[in-house]
Structure 1
Amino acid sequence: MARSLAQIQSQIDKLQREAEALRAKEISGVVVRIKEAISHYGLTPQELFGDAPSKKPRGKAAAASPKKPAAKKPAAAPKYRDEAGNTWTGHGKRPNWFKAALEAGKTAADLEIKN
């Protein structure tokens, strides 16, 4: 038996309401367990959250975000330079000035910074 779009949408809405109710029930249980653990161990907000409360995302966004920020790599030394002083490391997308210089007849070797 073929179902109509309206029937499927109704079923989706019903399941969404059930999921939200179940999530709310689970959250209340989690909060109770957390409060019990905090009370049992005598934890302070400082011990739990550090110096300042952070504004971290909650829910799915928090699960997708990394635990530690990636260490920043030092900036790479430029490998190419034009007469106007524009530079490029040779990594990533070619900048417009580099493409324009190539179209104008220059070669990558002409733009390479010589040590």
Structure 2
Amino acid sequence: MAVDIKNLNHSQLTELIAKAQSRQGELQKEKVTRLRDKINAMIKEEGLTFDDVFGQRAPKSKRAGTTVAAKYRNPADPEQVWSGRGKRPRWFNDALKAGTSEKDMLA
């Protein structure tokens, strides 16, 4: 099927491109599905499971995205807190330079 694109206007070309990209995506999904089916058939033919071949997937970490309780509090502004993890905040370093000990800033 040959399309003479020289006779198409801008909107027709845009529509043709959108349809072609959509079809390209469909073909890609079909290809992936066929390959997945082939792999599963081969694994089943050998009497194995997916996990036997590729290993078990690691469960998602329960700690991901959790917040940590504040360990230090800014004596000058109690709203500012730090968990003690990661880079020290500027207020913490400034307080240390001013002579405040870490123990004095414990929350």
**Which category of TM-score, normalised to the shorter sequence, fits these structures?**
0.3 to 0.5
Give TM-score, length-normalised by structure 2.
Answer: 0.43
**If you compute each CA radius of gyration, which structure gives the higher value, 1 or 2?**
2
Give TM-score, length-normalised by structure 1.
Answer: 0.41
